[in-house]
Amino acid sequence: MRYGYHCEECEEAVWPATSRGELQWLKNREHVVREVARHVQAGLDTWITEGLEFLDHHNGHSVILSKRP
Ligand SMILES: [Zn+2]
């Protein structure tokens, strides 16, 4: 099963290659992870980069954790 983020306002979604638990973790701690990401330019997992990019792009929107149909 593939999980991802879905923006209810833009009807856009992203499906990073990771588990539901990891996506939940990133969403709950977005600000902390973003802070850390600023200091580690290299070595971040792709799904973290993808996830942060999406959350950044849809900042202030209604983003939910979604399951790919
Ligand atoms: Zn959006």
Residue ranges per structural domain of the chain: 3-67
Quick one: tokens of 23? 């996506």
How far does residue 15's CA lie from ligand 1's centre (Å)? 15
pLDDT over 90 at 1, yes or no: no
Instruction: State the pTM of this model.
Output: 0.89
pLDDT number for residue 38: 87
> 42 alpha carbon to ligand 1 midpoint, in Å?
27
How remote is the CA of residue 11 from the centroid of ligand 1, in Å? 7
Give the model confidence (pLDDT) of 14-62 as tens digits. 999 999 999 999 999 999 999 998 888 778 899 999 999 999 999 999 9
CB atoms within 10 A of CB 66: 18
pLDDT on residue 18: 96
Distance 64 CA to ligand 1 centre (A): 10
Strands 63-67 and 12-14: unpaired
**Backbone φ and ψ of 33, nearest 5°:** -65, -40
